[in-house]
């Protein structure tokens, strides 16, 4: 235990919550299959970043997470790898019923980056990823969603449009990520974010990431996360 505390200190991470899993030291500690390990090394990721060391085992254990870490700390992989494992763990992958994993990000640029990163790791498994943000016509987007996918990477506004158009159902969604929650709120997307969360089954796993923790985000976290593990990296917050 002493050991774990010293190790967390060396990573400059702080945690709170009940029964927080121990942080990993290397990707090999996670029991990933050779497909994912291959994709990770193909990306040139040699060792996990501090947020990944703590968030990966925590998310893989099925826990909700509040992750507070600044830009560039490797948050995307911290939620993408567990999302892939979560999807592979689902028994029936029958098509056309809607995504299992949904990621919301504040802007088209950020959503696009997450989309590209996710595809690198999902593609080797045949997991279909749809990007639901501006840049594609709503009609094209509608058709793509109708064809089916396991993961949606979305901006809140466009996702709501697609739900209204009945392009997708959220009944199978059990893994929800709110990325850059503070920016989503700063841009005025709180109503959209709340509406999306309200349409996803309560027995989901939820991960909320933010560079800062303001009152409004803290309040949302209290309302939508269950028994979360809070992970703070460095001096942000």
Which residues, numbered 25-54, are part of the site for ligand ADP (CB under 6 A)? 45, 48-49, 52
Which of these ranges, 15-23, 56-64, 74-82, 87-95, lies near Mg ion under the rule CB under 5 A? 74-82
Among 58, 76, 206, 232, binds ligand ADP (CB under 6 A): 76
**Among residues 63 and 75, whose Cβ is nearest to Mg ion?**
75
234: which DSSP letter?
T
CB 211 within 8 A of CB 180: yes
Side-chain half-sphere CA neighbours of 230 within 13 A: 12
CB 141 within 8 A of CB 158: yes
Among 71, 91, 137, 203, binds ligand ADP (CB under 6 A): 71
155 binding partner (options ligand ADP, Mg ion, none; Cβ < 5 to 8 Å by kind): none
Q: What is the rounded distance in angstroms from the CA atom of residue 161 to the CA atom of residue 163?
A: 6
| Residues 196, 225, 167: CA angle, nearest 5 degrees | 20
Which residues fall within 8 angstroms of residue 67, CB to CB, at 6 or more apart? 51, 55, 75, 78, 207, 208, 209, 210, 231, 233
206 binding partner (options Mg ion, ligand ADP, none; Cβ < 5 to 8 Å by kind): none
Considering the rule CB under 6 A, would residue 232 count as an interface residue with ligand ADP?
A: no
Among 11, 13, 36, 75, binds Mg ion (CB under 5 A): 75
- The helix-helix angle for 190-198 and 215-224 (nearest 10°) equals 10
Question: Least distance to ligand ADP from the beta carbon of 157, Å?
Answer: 21
Q: Total number of residues binding ligand ADP (CB under 6 A)?
A: 12
Question: Least distance to ligand ADP from the beta carbon of 117, Å?
Answer: 6
- 210 bridge partner residues: 68
Residue 103 is encoded by which pair of tokens? 């990621």
Question: Least distance to ligand ADP from the beta carbon of 17, Å?
Answer: 20
Interface residue list for ligand ADP (CB under 6 A): 45, 48-49, 52, 69, 71-77
């Amino acid at each position: 235990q002493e050991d774990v505390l010293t190790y967390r200190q060396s990573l400059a991470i702080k945690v709170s919550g009940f029964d927080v899993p121990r942080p990993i030291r290397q990707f090999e500690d996670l029991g990933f299959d050779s497909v994912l390990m291959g994709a990770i090394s193909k990306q040139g990721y040699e060792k996990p970043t501090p947020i990944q060391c703590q968030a990966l085992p925590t998310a893989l254990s099925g826990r909700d997470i509040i992750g507070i870490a600044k830009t560039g700390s490797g948050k995307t992989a911290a939620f993408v790898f567990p999302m892939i494992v979560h999807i592979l763990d689902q028994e029936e992958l029958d098509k056309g019923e809607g995504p299992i994993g949904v990621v919301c990000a504040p802007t088209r640029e950020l959503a696009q980056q997450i989309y590209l990163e996710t595809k690198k790791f999902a593609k080797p498994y045949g997991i279909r990823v749809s990007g639901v943000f501006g840049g594609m016509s709503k009609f094209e987007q509608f058709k793509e969603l109708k064809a089916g996918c396991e993961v949606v990477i979305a901006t809140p506004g466009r996702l709501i449009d697609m739900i209204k158009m009945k392009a997708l159902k959220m009944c199978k969604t059990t893994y929800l990520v709110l990325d850059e929650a503070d920016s989503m709120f700063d841009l005025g997307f709180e109503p959209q974010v709340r509406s999306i969360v309200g349409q996803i089954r309560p027995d989901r796993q939820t991960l909320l990431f933010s560079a800062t923790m303001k009152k409004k985000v803290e309040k949302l976290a209290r309302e939508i996360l269950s028994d979360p593990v809070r992970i703070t990296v460095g001096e942000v917050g």
